[in-house]
Structure 1
């Protein structure tokens, strides 16, 4: 049926219906032109057979839209097993967010010194605070070219899958609590249940258990 705009507006006012528009697109990657240059140590080689677990990680930030405001998810992904080894959610885009995700990954995995962490050139990853956190943990930073999403394709693909499968066609979550619960449940399922084509239709945890050698980790503290 065809109706005029004014008629629709009048009927909406009469019934107390208000339109809801999608929120403005949020930019999560803001390059810092003054940041020190970092080499690309991955070179778009995201193959799962390229290295053992806990030798090459990648990370990124994606936004989570809720009707209460924006949330942001920072993840750390093992390139060998595609497992999410660390993550953090916050309502801000400060460096603390990516530091928390890296700290979570280090605590869970205790990798040996020399591990490569690959990211884009967003100001959070090029910050001095994040560089110091990497140095303290014995992590070597690797960065993609400015404006090249293909250089961090594994993380970009993960972000797209996360939003598609958690939102399931919705524009946003109802509130922050719902978004955090959905993120936690999906990340757990992604690691333990969801099959990955690059892993021979196995979940990341199954792949690590059945095909990967034991990771080179630090000895636990006494």
Structure 2
């Protein structure tokens, strides 16, 4: 374990268990699967950074200032990474499309960062906000009013072709395609005929069969993983948690948190599991039919790591009961009905529950009343 590379966030949480929560280095190292010398080094480094005069900072403020600097740098790097992901189609479009993207994501990213990534000026964005409607858009609004009048006058039975004829007869110059576009955007359509009863024609793209079929008792670790997403309330907004659980021992082998429920969230959790466990080919990964798990990125990741996908049946939560059971335990035993002050506090408490209690300490009936870590340790000692 000592040869692995750990993130700065993981190190900070591990050190916090010793310095803030009062655990011993030996106890924390044992629960997290670390070498004691490694954790001693992290704690020593954290204490040195807190000494007065360190790095030219005043007494007691060095660590806080450094944390603020690192958080600001992390936020900047994360924004510069995430903005291009969400603006792939916008980057090759005009300035107005970029301005519209910036307004839609102003609560998620800083304006100065979006301007730098998208290659626009703040002054132009503010000018666009003050008068964002173009002459074309104003003309569309006027024309839409005439279209609604003609549509209602027909008893809602006219489509775009007949409404175009009415407008041209009234002296308007407009194309049939423009009228069709405006009517589609407004949800106006010809109300003719009885229609047909909608029928379900299969699930979304990317859905696979339920290979697991509720067989929740594999005979070894790293054979079947289950994954799902839940949410945690904070005064900053929702914090979404994705977790990957090994069915053999019920150990949470990977997890990730983000303020949005995107495919990147589940990919980060699965990547953490692969990084931690380093499984061989053929691991089955079971999930529900959420859009995050039916995305092309998720399927490509499973294929690249030679994993076998499996999905619950549509609307059947019992097919993924183990993942649901973990989230239920998390909320009943730790979160309950509380609301965290911010997302960072919620994430820290999730780390404490999973890494310091659930995996190394909490007993499971399905694991012979042992903790997941101890259950797997005995499996390894048995020579299986």
1:213 Cα deviation from its structure 2 partner: 6.8
Matched with 1:13 is none
| C-alpha distance in 1 between matches for 2:301 and 2:284 | 13
Distance across 1 between alignment mates of 2:293 and 2:284: 13
Q: Does residue 175 of structure 1 match 2:337?
A: no
1:104-115 matches, within 5 Å, as 104-115=272-283
Residue deviations 1:3-42 (CA, integer Å, cap 9, x gap): xxxxxxxxxxxxxxxxxxxxxxxxxxxxx94313301111
User: Which has the higher mean CA deviation after the structures are superposed, 84-93 or 205-214?
Assistant: 205-214
Cα deviation, 1:144-180, whole Å, max 9, x if unaligned, reads 001100000000111111111222442x212212101
Structure having the larger proportion of residues in strand? 1
Aligned-residue CA RMSD in angstroms? 1.8
Given that residues 57 and 76 in structure 1 are in contact (C-alpha distance below 8 angstroms), is that contact kept between their aligned partners in structure 2? yes
> Contact conserved, 2:243 with 2:255, CA < 8 A, in 1?
yes
TM-score w.r.t. the length of structure 1 is: 0.78
1:34-85 CA distance string (max 9 Å, x none): 31330111111112xx321001100000001111100100011000010011
User: Corresponding residue for 2:228?
Assistant: 60
Higher helix share: 2
For residues 75-104 of structure 1, give each alpha carbon's deviation from its aligned partner in whole angstroms, at most 9, with x where no partner exists: 110000100111100001110000001110
Which entry has the higher C-alpha Rg, 1 or 2?
A: 2
- Match 1:147 to one of 315, 327, 334: 315
- Indicate conservation of the 8 Å contact 2:206/2:296, yes or no: no
Of structures 1 and 2, the one scoring higher in RCO (CA 8 A, sep 6+) is 1
Identify the match of residue 202 of structure 1 among 361, 370, 374: 370
Paired residue for 1:134? Answer: 302
List structure 1 runs of 4+ shifted beyond 2 angstroms. 211-216
For structure 1, the 5+ residue unaligned runs are 1-31, 217-222
SS in 2 for 1:192: coil
Q: Does the 8 A contact of 2:204 with 2:294 survive in 1?
A: no
TM-score if structure 2 supplies the norm length?
0.46
| Residue segments in structure 2 that go unaligned for 5+ positions in a row | 1-201
Q: Are the counterparts in 2 of residues 54 and 115 from structure 1 also a CA contact under 8 Å?
A: yes
Aligned to 1:28: none
Give the equivalent residue in structure 1 for 2:4.
none
1:156 has 2:321 as partner:
no
SS state at 2:359 partner: helix
Q: Write the distance in 2 (CA, Å) between the matches of 1:201 and 1:213.
A: 18
